[in-house]
Structure 1
Amino acid sequence: MKKILSIFSIIVLGFLLVGCKQDSSKTIKVGVAFYPMDDILKLIQEDVKKDGYDLVISDISDYQANNRYVNNGNLDANMIQHQYFLNIFNQANQTNLVIAQPIYHATFVLYSKNYQKVSDIPQNAVITVPDDQTNLSRALYLLHQAQIITLKDGKYLNATLDDIKDNPKEIVFDLIHQDTLAHKYKETGLAVMYPKDALSLNLSGNQEQLFVEKADDVTNGFAISLATRESLLNSDKIQVLIKHLTSQKVKDFLNNEYGWASRPAF
């Protein structure tokens, strides 16, 4: 009798495991980190459902952990980063995550409380910029675009302060954590930050925006993108996600609801 029960238990367990595997194959798990990533995915959740998949959204603010979960299979994909950040993660962790689809460009802006034109910035002015590598490089490239500084040729994507070739106004750079940029802006009155940071200062639209990052071959690589494992890139799961993430519905949302801080990348 015990032997029969044991065999029966094994059979039942086998059916359960198969059932779980089948359910998992029809579930797409995607990691996000901040607005509007989760809102975009919620917008397409029912559309993905019609294509036979349950879209599960995981809010994980730690970017490193978010990528590790994609790499180890706990997540199928995430939508938290641009190509340059992913390159740094892959190099540091010996992983091979890939960009599946650029989704939107988050606007990067030089804000000023006191000046109306870039040419008004005085000698020895202090500009607050993010201290992390990817956002620092992006901030320096924005200032290069604005002709406030000149970067060395070929040093745009991973620029540091040492890569400044010319600094005619002798700008002083105040490097701080991105989360404290808005607070520090109250003191310095000049900062490179995202409109979502400025929103905490009750700044909306183009208020106090002195120079907005221009689209070019370098800045196009900063688009927030859907990333996944290379082995999943051509899977039906990822292709279904791409189909709905690049829909007119998402484009309209980005233009109408998030146009103050972004533009579509598709």
Structure 2
Amino acid sequence: MKKFITVLFVMLLLVACGGKSTEEGSLDVGVAFYPMKDILELVEEDLKAEGITLNIHEFTDYQTPNNLLKDKELDANMIQHRYFLEEFNKANDTDLEVIMPIYHATFALYSEEFENIEDIPNNSVITLPDDATNLSRALYLLHQAGLIEVDLTNATNLTLDDVVSNPKDLDLTDHVPLTSLSQRYVETKFAVMYPTYARNLELEGDEQRLYVEKLDDVTEGYAISLVARPDNLDDANIKKLMDVLNSDKVRDFLIENYDWASTPAF
């Protein structure tokens, strides 16, 4: 009987320890540009109160945090929208998953010289992102703005071949990496880019924005999102991270501090 009680005690102790390991511990999350890091820092203390240490890792590119997440060196990342992730998964034979949309970045057409779409001269060069998903998004924005017309058969994977009308004969062949858009914009005077890169030029608010992307069934998928792996997306710590992110605290923070750059997506 004594032996049975001892074994039972050990088993209960192991169960208790196992439960604690799922409730407490740490999370390693990758971010790129603002306000991603700011958002995580905002909820850091909330997670600490739940027994979770949040380790925030900053990156200057979008491939590395996905590779590290795939290799289980990160628990999650918050760097990208769903369409970008789909392209990454396809190219790398991975199955990372969006688990929560966080915010919509304010994607826009910028011009240093003009204030109205109608004033854009014929044959103007408009610099666009060079990666497939953001090039498609830029072409869709120009379609929304009425500058071009595109075939919307595959609206989330547009290429220049899908442009069916270009009344101003705009040059849409100048494509550069996202991180080079602001530098190139200085030369071409027109670019479709995110506020992150416009900030490099000290542009804030609506300054130099000719047209801002409108939310619809297509653009909803461009929300910057929290991403995890299939094997950990139901982890207790991941769920707690989602809980603290899905809060009025985060929503109000975005509205009060980054309304010119983002819109809450939850």
Specify the TM-score bucket, using the shorter chain as the normaliser: 0.7 to 0.9
Partner of 1:12: none
Following superposition, the deviation at residue 24 of structure 1 comes to: 10
Separation in 2, partners of 1:48, 1:235:
14
Partner of 1:230: 230
Corresponding letter in the other structure for 1:49:
K
Residue 70 (structure 1) aligned with residue 69 (structure 2): yes
Aligned length: 249
**Identity score, percent:** 52
Corresponding letter in the other structure for 1:214:
K
Partner of 1:109: 108
Corresponding letter in the other structure for 1:52:
G
Separation in 1, partners of 2:64, 2:23:
21
Separation in 1, partners of 2:94, 2:222:
20
Partner of 1:129: 128
Partner of 1:36: 35
Corresponding letter in the other structure for 2:102:
I
Cα-to-partner distance string for 1:80-133 (whole Å, 9 max, x where unaligned): 111001101111111111111000111111111222221222221111111111
Separation in 2, partners of 1:265, 1:160:
27
For residue 103 of structure 2, give the secondary structure of its aligned residue in structure 1.
strand
Deviates more, 1:112-121 or 1:217-226: 112-121
Separation in 1, partners of 2:175, 2:159:
11
Deviates more, 1:181-190 or 1:212-221: 181-190
For residue 101 of structure 1, give the secondary structure of its aligned residue in structure 2.
strand
| Aligned pairs for 1:42-191 within 5 A | 42-173=41-172, 174-191=174-191
Separation in 2, partners of 1:154, 1:244:
38
**Does the CA contact (< 8 Å) of 2:182 and 2:200 recur in 1?**
yes
Separation in 1, partners of 2:61, 2:114:
36
Separation in 2, partners of 1:60, 1:123:
39
Runs of 4+ in 1 over 3 A off after TM superposition: 21-25
Alignment RMSD: 2.0
Corresponding letter in the other structure for 1:76:
D
Following superposition, the deviation at residue 210 of structure 1 comes to: 0.6
Separation in 1, partners of 2:136, 2:100:
23
For residue 172 of structure 1, give the secondary structure of its aligned residue in structure 2.
coil
**Does the CA contact (< 8 Å) of 2:36 and 2:79 recur in 1?**
yes
Following superposition, the deviation at residue 222 of structure 1 comes to: 0.6
Partner of 2:193: 193
Partner of 1:247: 247
Separation in 2, partners of 1:65, 1:193:
21
Partner of 1:8: none
Partner of 2:3: none
Structure 2: stretches of 5+ with no match in the other structure = 1-16
Q: 1:63 to 1:203 in 2, by over 3 A?
A: closer
Separation in 1, partners of 2:23, 2:85:
26
Corresponding letter in the other structure for 1:150:
E
Separation in 2, partners of 1:24, 1:94:
31
| Aligned pairs for 1:7-18 within 5 A | none
Separation in 2, partners of 1:125, 1:61:
30
Partner of 2:215: 215
Deviates more, 1:87-96 or 1:63-72: 63-72
- What TM-score comes out, normalization by structure 2 length? 0.88
**Does the CA contact (< 8 Å) of 2:127 and 2:190 recur in 1?**
yes
**Does the CA contact (< 8 Å) of 2:108 and 2:193 recur in 1?**
yes
Structure 1: stretches of 5+ with no match in the other structure = 1-17
